[in-house]
């Protein structure tokens, strides 16, 4: 555990940890991660978030079937046909693709999943719904990093949303927004690799250069 790690170091080293050990994770650590998520901002402070903790291997295997199918039909072809993203060369991109495939094949072996959901009731999800759940997800990712645990945000199960939410046993009116597999990491944290700010930040008008980079 590295509780003294400085905030910006945590932010700059919280990369997607897709290779996880199957060793059990104490509930006390999961509780701290959930408490961090609960501190996040959300619309009108309505706190409509719901978090499903999944340890049951049979449930995870039922979801993994669809997770694998989404990889075979969507994610795998994307990696094979796409150029490396900003800040990453071909070799690193191939290593990322290998890690994604590893997660796909071992998704059900992660000791703990946190399924981040919102309770919509009779109202359908809309464009701003994620504003009330994704800040909580990011808080939980940072908390996991601070506790020395590996985690990643994945939404791939939503390619087969109905099938995976049925496998998860979600009731009517509740929708999942992410699954966070959590475990002790294989490998090291960080650093995060991104392109330069100058390619994504504008000043006052779209396309006008921001001088702060």
- In the prediction, which pLDDT does 110 show? 98
The model's pTM: 0.92
- Cis before 25? omega within 30: no
Residue numbers in the chain where pLDDT is lower than 70: 1-5, 213
- 7-199, CATH topology level: NADH Oxidase (3.40.109)
- In the prediction, which pLDDT does 127 show? 86
- In the prediction, which pLDDT does 142 show? 97
101 contacts 77 by C-beta, under 8 angstroms: no
- In the prediction, which pLDDT does 23 show? 97
- In the prediction, which pLDDT does 137 show? 98
- In the prediction, which pLDDT does 107 show? 97
């Amino acid at each position: 555990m590295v509780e003294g790690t400085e905030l910006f170091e945590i932010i700059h080293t919280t990369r997607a940890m897709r290779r996880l050990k199957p060793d059990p994770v104490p509930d006390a650590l999961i509780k701290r991660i959930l408490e961090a998520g609960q501190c996040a901002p959300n619309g009108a402070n309505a706190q409509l978030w719901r978090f499903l903790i999944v340890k049951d291997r049979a449930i995870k295997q039922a979801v993994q079937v669809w997770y694998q199918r989404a990889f075979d039909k969507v994610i795998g072809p994307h990696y094979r046909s796409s150029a490396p993203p900003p800040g990453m060369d071909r070799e690193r991109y191939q290593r990322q693709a290998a890690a994604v495939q590893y997660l796909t094949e071992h998704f059900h072996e992660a000791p703990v999943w946190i399924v981040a959901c919102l309770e919509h009731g009779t109202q359908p999800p809309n464009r701003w719904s994620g504003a009330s759940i994704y800040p909580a997800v990011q808080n939980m990712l940072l908390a996991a990093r601070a506790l020395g645990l590996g985690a990643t945000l994945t939404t791939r199960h939503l390619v087969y949303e109905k099938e995976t939410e049925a496998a998860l046993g979600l009731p009517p009116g509740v929708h999942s927004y992410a699954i966070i597999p959590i475990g002790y990491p294989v490998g090291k944290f960080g650093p995060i690799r991104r392109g330069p700010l100058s390619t994504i930040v504008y000043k006052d008008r779209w396309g006008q250069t921001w001088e702060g980079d």
